[in-house]
A and B are shown apart, each in its own frame.
Chain A
């Protein structure tokens, strides 16, 4: 019998009774062929691979991360609570020591969900990794966590949520935002005053292949992780960089995804996007599972795989080399740069237009982060959208100082009529208030 070198937990929840619409990429069929491939390969029989059912994320789990308008019950359907719960279950397996690693193959995805939630954007309503990360911190202590987002689209929601948090290093590699949804994820987006340098974007040119992705991993991501020394590494494992994906333009492969996971060696992986449901997902998921479990994956190849066809051009290779050097030196200079940028400021204000493509909602946001010498700083968001009245959302960070705590509570207390909803997220005491 086949035996896993690393005990691996799998949450496999294809949600065969849920879809956005019958012809939407997020439809019932999405993980059907993956399930067939995994069953046919006998993956669930492998000694050392354990299957867990998802739990269901609670309102509190969601509120640790999001401000749902008007509230969690109205905004978050059962399906999303389950995919968030599936991620939590996967993490729990690792942190309780039931398994050494785990992989949540769940849907719907989450990495396009911002802090404030009016609806569905990029097929996501709540951010399943962020919810998992905060659940881990609540139950297993304030860990230093690195999220490596290998989805083809920029993980803009995860970036938004951890923008000002240096205990969560967020690295996203994705197809250059000038050529694809959601149009963000540039090198310059480098984090807020409390977490500057801990939000790293690596925008890659279309047609980047195995060589390019692994180059970025080996020459940029792994060295940064080496220096950051996270307690946990999470792979936000979108699979739409695959050469057969219908909504992207990259040339990544099942072998590439497997190698990436072998070298990155994440503690937890969570499926994000990936819509080549027949040509990619069955092989990519199998490759990732085998790589994580420490089982030989050398024979996992797409039926139409061709090394020659997928070879990346020299231009791309050179471009990526230069890009990596640029980002690495930016990372090295992060503290100096932060001092220059924020030294004399009281606060940093960002205005954001957030479009919910799936639900057709437009949101305007003004985010104000206090520059505080004692903590990472109070965050206050004012937001309006075309589906509701204005809201005010206040976050007291996990490391919040007494001044910021008082300021947050006072602001919550004295704010009234101007907003249809006011929220206070107190991350120190794990409390949430709204009115």
Chain B
């Protein structure tokens, strides 16, 4: 049996799944002042009268790192930043103490100017007197050559600082500013995450549950609690990913699809491309910090069942973006889409009379019947979702391309199905079908789709391999590899190595059942010419285990 647990803003949801069947589920309110306690209470209830020996693993999503960042409650962090020529790195200051280094690594990974270790030592000693333990170090182009970051870490570790997050370990992607923010955040939330991890381990042990613990990531995959303890920043914003994976677990979706999670205040929009969740190109942004954390696209719009409805001076219906309280059917202050759907008998809760009164307020203003007003609001609700979706799709489909091939024949996302979850899912499905003119599906158990997703999602991994055969250097930043290769190294060798590395990593993680799932997602080999002769190859490759599921719930439904 697998436990899946998702911590949301209002509820903690948990499920127990065995061989594709949901054995039990629990929903408990979230106590923001004590998240660990909320998680623990939910688990206790779920596991009541269960045979704990049958539990194989626990997958959980936590909002602790996200909250720590959003609420500005992270630890104090000191930073070393080495910029070199380019945009002034003072633009990317974050953290409580920032020191700039004057060494430089260029775009090929060549050291142009060495690191000044004495300066590092001097500044670190100064920080020692400041009661700050956490450091982050980021140098420009460190994914091409991490030596300066390693040197700084070495000095800091010897002086007793911990954690020391090095930029190149977080992602193989280029972006010095994002690397700075991501490394800073990782160090800032390190101790709060580790406290949480410690509590989880201890409590489960006391309970006699000695099973692997996995934490959800924003990219729809999991990582072990131990890895997450080193790189907690990878666990931010995992909630939406859990819902997306839950939708995948409910249907056999092999084509492009639109995923909607409609709540009280917002609607979250995600997409599948050929059945695989679509990622944000660079990484997710949190509290104004753009990061390199890989994440599923999940865009919130201010439209939900409880959104406030107004009529503007031109007599148009405006829904949202703010929520002023519950629907009037539940004694709320303003008419809401839920009131409209109660009048139309698509939803059934609260007082129908009060909902009807809510609609009469609208009807009077635009001079139609109560019924008609409700219909207009319902239609508008679908219309807004459609407009926003198309806007987002347009953006996605005009993503930058760099080859003629891609420009002329590149993939365009065109959803063929909608999957909708959340409170008003059933009520809204018909209007979505009408507006988009494609089938709209609702998972069974759609109130705990997130927990199902958490339970069934599997390990994701990504590596970036760069080989420069002129410099005879190979680097795989995410794995800390930086070594010599000979000049005969080519794209095929790179593919073999990337796959081998991922295989090894999977074996180390006891996740070898996914060995066949490794895929190369980007491969480029550029001939480097100096003078009139080919002097080497510049090989760039990315490989991954894409987000996926152990298995789907129940039988395969038609896609």
Contacts and interface: CB of A to CB of B under 8 A. Distances in A.
Interface core residue of B83, B402, B533 (most chain A CB under 10 Å): B402
A302 B534 CA distance: 24
A419 B86 CA distance: 56
A27 interface: yes
Nearest to B288: A1
B276 to A, nearest CB: 23
29 contacts: A12-B402, A13-B401, A17-B403, A18-B404, A22-B534, A23-B529, A29-B526, A29-B527, A33-B108, A35-B402, A39-B175, A42-B87, A42-B92, A42-B176, A42-B177, A45-B178, A45-B290, A53-B398, A53-B400, A53-B407, A54-B407, A78-B404, A82-B407, A283-B85, A298-B88, A300-B85, A301-B85, A303-B85, A303-B104
B255 to A, nearest CB: 24
A278 B109 CA distance: 12
Nearest to A44: B400
A12 B400 contact: yes
B534 A33 contact: no
Nearest to B398: A53
Interface in A290-308: 290, 295-296, 298-303
A23 B176 contact: no
Given A23-B533, A299-B86, A15 B403 contact: yes
A37 interface: yes
A28 interface: yes
B529 A27 contact: yes
B140 A28 contact: no
Contacts of A32: 526, 538
Nearest to B408: A78
Interface in B396-415: 398, 400-405, 407-408
Interface of A: 1-2, 12-18, 22-23, 27-29, 32-33, 35-37, 39-45, 51, 53-54, 56, 78-79, 82, 246, 278, 282-283, 286, 290, 295-296, 298-303
B282 A45 contact: yes
Contacts of A39: 173-175
A300 B528 contact: no
Nearest to B173: A39
* 4 nearest A-B pairs in the assembled complex, by CB-CB distance: A42-B177, A39-B174, A17-B403, A303-B112
A113 B131 CA distance: 66
A13 B402 contact: yes
B91 interface: yes
A243 to B, nearest CB: 15
A42 B88 CA distance: 12
Contacts of A78: 404, 408
A259 B534 CA distance: 35
Contacts of A54: 407
Interface residues of B, number: 44
B18 interface: no
B519 interface: no
Contacts of B483: none
Given A17-B404, A45-B175, A53-B398, A22 B108 contact: no
B383 interface: no
A151 B106 CA distance: 26
A36 B88 contact: no
Contacts of A16: 402-403, 524, 526
B527 A295 contact: no
Contacts of A45: 175, 177-178, 282, 290
Contacts of A286: 86-87
Given A29-B526, A299-B85, A303-B104, A40 B176 contact: yes
B532 A41 contact: no
A40 to B, nearest CB: 4
B141 interface: yes
A290 B87 contact: yes
Nearest to B289: A1
Contacts of A303: 84-85, 104, 106, 112-113
Contacts of B178: 42, 45
Contacts of B538: 29, 32
Interface in B513-559: 524, 526-529, 531-534, 538
Contacts of A2: 87, 91-92, 177
B112 to A, nearest CB: 4
A12 B401 CA distance: 9
A15 B404 contact: yes
Contacts of B526: 16, 28-29, 32
B466 to A, nearest CB: 10
B401 A53 contact: yes
Contacts of A15: 402-404
Contacts of A43: 87
Contacts of B176: 40-42
B198 interface: no
Interface in B446-470: none
Contact of B174 (A23, A36, A56): A36
Nearest to A298: B88
A41 B108 contact: no
A33 B408 contact: no
B56 to A, nearest CB: 41
B107 interface: yes
A40 B174 contact: yes
B290 A295 contact: no
Contacts of A282: 107
B400 A42 contact: no
Given A17-B404, A17-B405, A45-B175, A278 B527 contact: no
A36 B527 contact: no
A278 B108 CA distance: 9
A36 B110 CA distance: 14
B532 A23 contact: yes
A282 B92 CA distance: 21
Contacts of A283: 85
Contact of A41 (B87, B398, B400, B531): B87
A8 to B, nearest CB: 14
A54 B524 CA distance: 22
A14 B527 CA distance: 15
A27 B401 CA distance: 18
A27 B288 CA distance: 39
B402 A14 contact: yes
A283 B112 CA distance: 15
A40 B140 contact: yes
B301 to A, nearest CB: 21
B403 A296 contact: no
Interface core residue of B87, B290, B402, B407 (most chain A CB under 10 Å): B87
Interface in B175-206: 175-178
A36 B86 contact: no
Contacts of B408: 56, 78
Interface in B224-252: none
B547 to A, nearest CB: 24
A46 to B, nearest CB: 8
A319 B402 CA distance: 43
B171 to A, nearest CB: 12
A43 B174 CA distance: 11
A12 B141 CA distance: 21
A291 to B, nearest CB: 12
Interface in B420-439: none
A12 B400 CA distance: 8
A302 B104 CA distance: 11
Nearest to B524: A16
Given A2-B92, A15-B403, 10 more contacts: A27-B529, A28-B526, A29-B528, A29-B529, A35-B402, A36-B174, A39-B175, A45-B282, A282-B107, A290-B87
Interface in B78-114: 83-88, 91-92, 104, 106-108, 112-113
A28 B527 contact: yes
Nearest to A27: B529
A135 to B, nearest CB: 18
A197 to B, nearest CB: 40
B261 to A, nearest CB: 27
Interface string B254-288: 00000000000000000000000000001000001
